[in-house]
Amino acid sequence: MRSCHWRDLGRINYAEAFELQRAVAGRRKRGEIPDQFLIVEHPHTITLGRNGHMENLLAREEILERAGVAFHPTDRGGDITYHGPGQIVGYPIMDLREWKRDVVAYVRSLEQVIIDALADFGVEAGRIPSMTGVWVDGAKIAAIGVHISRWVTSHGFALNVSTDLSYFQYIVPCGLVKPVTSMSVLDAGAPRENVIERLVFHFGRVFECDMAQASANIETGELIYD
Amino acid sequence: MTDVVMPQMGESIVEGTLTKWRKKPGEHVERDEPLFEISTDKVDTEIPSPAAGTLAEVLVEEGKTVGINTVVARIDESGGNGARAAAPAKPAAAPPHSPPVAAAPVPTPPPQAPVSEPAEAAGPLSPLVRKMARENNIDLSQITGTGAGGRITKQDVEAYLAGRQGTPGRASAPPVQEPAAYVPPAAATPARVRVEPMSTMRMKIAEHMVMSKRTSAHVTTIHKVDMTKVARVRERLKADFQTRYGLSLTYLPFVVRAAVEGLRAFPIVNASIEGNNILYHNEINIGIAVALENGLIVPVIRNADEKNVLGLQRAIADLAARARSRQLKPDEVQGGTFSITNFGTFGSIVATPIINQPQVAILGVGSVEKTPVVIDDAIAIRSICYLSLTFDHRLIDGSLGDQFTGKVKAVLENWSEEVL
């Protein structure tokens, strides 16, 4: 069975996580490390995908800046989204050649991981055809946006656990005029670690790999590979 | 010629949208270098070039969706031949006697921006190393890492910096493809520019300023105002203001107060344009431009017509302080119907401000200076200030602009109001 390292890097700003992903993806492409599943939380940030539309940003940027919300254009698929405290952001850095050379199957599987993890907390989540992401009664609970280079994935998903949903007022999430929700709103609030534990479990199951917890050097932020 | 096709990115996938070409026709591409990007269902994928050579033809434009295995481009391998071709000059075309420098006015690929690619080559970088690179403007790809797995350490960066001070220029740099033509041969000089991305605020300001100039027909009219009466009131009350309210009393609230009178008398100056309609605003919300360390913001005094000079001074001090500590709420910078900018603070006597869209006018306040003036054929020393009104000539005619400014001037010159 393939092995996959996972680690919870805690709160880390978007630009830093972006560079970290690039570096890790670079090493993954060169075959120096196995698949990685990075889990982070971002401070208030709005990101715009490569094919996103600025008009889905409802607030002018200086207003965001004053509200303490950073803004980053980025290179993942998908439109605009919000990241912030109370959200679990997962960045799998996987070489799909060793799993399935199929980007759609990859996205559907990411959705499955989240759907299964939510079920463990009593949340019945599912898909809406042609609207990537995870939905509960027509409201989006997790967003997905992925970048692939030489079959190596980066970016991933953002699951609202106890996210302050009022920050979504600044955007039209993913360009869709659909409501957003969170586990807390659905009375299924849970500690971050517990949700991560279930996500990691289902990640290993769905992608058929051995999940090994790895750590990061707290001082330098460098990842430690075994 | 090698055909480049739309790849199949999964079993169920029958087509893909080509979102971006990374190379232009005529440019050189290495094998495995990202050539274009495609998008399928929230996944963006970079597609590497199947061969090295010159991108001869692009058959599918950005934004088009095509079936898998459709030929999207052709690569001519004869020119590149895998050689790193610093300048892809055709050897045959260069006359044998010509000096090597002049030989290559052939379309060279544009210089790769020397930013943003460092992490890839050297493995993960610690935040410290990244910070040092940023602060010292170092291209990390030029540093050989000595840490685990070739990782760049703090010591490596320090060593590089020490070396750089000794030998100015990019001693160990790989041949950077400068546009060959006008560069003098001794190109090993220190970088002449420092590249720094704009902050989002700066980008927003830039966009707004140009948009405003494009939108409105800017005209500026300048009136000379005798502020002597106001100066006397201010002198008399300054100390009292400081002790009773902890506020220093400036000229600005007087000007705001006078502008309110002007806006009441000429509501069109407090209007905006929407399509072919004129929107007359029933509220008078005055934006006050506040300079920040690296930008500016225009917080709004709401219902400015309901405040006296004390209330205005208090609002100005509060908004300015919170603007500088970035604690304004979103609705405190929205909904302005007219703006005032006080460049006099910085020593300017006259300036021509840019309208804060979608408003139609902005009042600029120059510095108040004691000036000799002629009154009834006698020379007197008066406190003089120039007010400049920039207005949108689409909506406001010159005479009206001057009537408005004249009204503001009259209120200031004949100041009679209690300020408390």
CA distance B349 to chain A (A): 29
B237: pLDDT strictly greater than 60:
yes
Chain B CB contacts of A75 below 8 Å: 44
Look at the pTM and tell me if it is higher than 0.90. Answer: no
Specify the amino acid at residue B333: V
Q: What is the phi/psi pair of residue A46, to 5°?
A: -115, 130
Angle at B332 between CA B326 and CA B338, to 5 degrees: 120
Class of the CATH-defined domain B201-413? alpha beta
Q: What is the DSSP letter of A1?
A: -
B336: pLDDT strictly greater than 70:
yes
Which residue from B40, B119, B297 is facing A23, i.e. has the nearest CB?
Answer: B119
Token representation of residue A140: 């989006």
3-state SS record for chain B: CEEEECCCCCCCCCEEEEEEECCCCCCEECCCCEEEEEEECCEEEEEECCCCEEEEEECCCCCCEEECCCEEEEEEHHHHCCCCCCCCCCHHHCCCCCCHHHHCCCCCCCCCCCCCCHHHHHCCCCHHHHHHHHHHCCCHHHCCCCCHHHCCCHHHHHHHHHHHHHCCCCCCCCCCCCCCCCCCCCCCCCCCCCCCCCCHHHHHHHHHHHHHHHHCCEEEEEEEEECHHHHHHHHHHHHHHHHHHCCCCCCHHHHHHHHHHHHHHCHHHHEEEECCEEEECCCCCEEECEEECCEEECCEECCHHHCCHHHHHHHHHHHHHHHHCCCCCHHHCCCCCEEEECHHHHCCCCCCCCCCCCECEEEEECCCEEEEEEECCEEEEEEEEEEEEEEECCCCCHHHHHHHHHHHHHHHHCCCCCCC
Enclosing domain of residue A204: 2-224
**Taking the domains of chain B in order of start, what are their residue ranges?**
2-103, 118-166, 201-413
Token representation of residue B94: 């260069």
Distance CA A65, CA B297 (A): 11
Query: Mean of the pLDDT values across residues B111-117?
Result: 39
CATH of region B118-166 = 4.10.320.10
Residue A88 confidence class, pLDDT cut points 50, 70, 90: very high
Query: What does each C-alpha distance from B104 to A111, A219, B89 come to in angstroms?
Result: 53, 50, 6
How far does chain B reach from its first CA to its final CA, in angstroms? 84
Distance CA B388, CA B220 (A): 6
A185: pLDDT strictly greater than 80:
yes
**Mean pLDDT, chain B, as a whole number?**
81
Q: What is the DSSP letter of A211?
A: E
Is the CB of residue B63 less than 8 Å away from at least one CB of chain A? no
Query: Is A4 among the residues known to form the active site?
Result: no
B339 beta partners: B287, B362
Is the CB of residue B128 less than 8 Å away from at least one CB of chain A? yes
B390: pLDDT strictly greater than 90:
yes
pLDDT of residue A64: 80
Q: Do A103 and B12 touch (CB under 8 A)?
A: no
Query: Mean of the pLDDT values across residues A55-68?
Result: 76
Q: What is the DSSP letter of A38?
A: E
B177: pLDDT strictly greater than 50:
no
Task: State the CATH number of the domain containing residue A167.
Answer: 3.30.930.10
A68: pLDDT strictly greater than 60:
yes
Number of domain units in chain A: 1
**Mean pLDDT, chain A, as a whole number?**
89
Domain B2-103 indexed as CATH 2.40.50.100: yes
| Of A165, A174, A200, A214, catalytic | A174
B36 beta partners: B21, B47
ipTM here: 0.77
**Which residue, among B344, B346, B358, B357, has the nearest Cα to B388 in the 3D structure?**
B344
pLDDT of residue A139: 92
Q: Do A66 and B20 touch (CB under 8 A)?
A: no
Which residue from B10, B130, B297 is facing A19, i.e. has the nearest CB?
Answer: B130
Range name among A198-212, B25-39, B270-284 with the lowest pLDDT average: B25-39
Among B residues 28-47, those touching chain A with beta carbons less than 8 Å apart: 32, 34, 37, 39-46
Chain B CB contacts of A132 below 8 Å: 41-42
Among B residues 316-375, those touching chain A with beta carbons less than 8 Å apart: 326-330, 333-334
CB atoms within 10 A of CB A92: 24
Range name among B166-180, B277-291, B393-407 with the lowest pLDDT average: B166-180
Distance CA B396, CA B303 (A): 23
Percent of chain B, pLDDT > 70?
Answer: 79
- Nearest C-alpha in B relative to A78: B42
**Which residue, among A103, A105, A126, A106, has the nearest Cα to A116 in the 3D structure?**
A126
pLDDT of residue A176: 57
Range list of β-strands (E), chain A: 2-11, 35-41, 45-48, 70-73, 80-83, 87-93, 126-128, 131-136, 139-149, 152-160, 209-213, 215-216, 223-224
CA quadruple B256, B258, B264, B265: dihedral sign: negative
How far does chain A reach from its first CA to its final CA, in angstroms? 17
Is the CB of residue B209 less than 8 Å away from at least one CB of chain A? no
Query: Mean of the pLDDT values across residues B55-68?
Result: 89
- Residue B343 and residue B360 in contact, taking contact as beta carbons nearer than 8 Å: no
Q: Where is pLDDT greater, at B103 or B133?
A: B133
Range name among A170-184, B14-28, B31-45, B142-156 with the lowest pLDDT average: B142-156
Range name among B52-66, B91-105, B191-205, B322-336 with the lowest pLDDT average: B91-105
Q: Do A104 and B12 touch (CB under 8 A)?
A: yes
Query: Mean of the pLDDT values across residues B72-78?
Result: 90
pLDDT of residue B4: 93
- Residue B298 and residue B359 in contact, taking contact as beta carbons nearer than 8 Å: no
Distance CA B287, CA B214 (A): 21
pLDDT of residue A221: 56
Residue A222 confidence class, pLDDT cut points 50, 70, 90: low
- Residue A158 and residue A180 in contact, taking contact as beta carbons nearer than 8 Å: no
Query: What does each C-alpha distance from B79 to A36, B25, B28, B271 come to in angstroms?
Result: 40, 13, 9, 63
B381: pLDDT strictly greater than 80:
yes
pLDDT of residue B114: 40
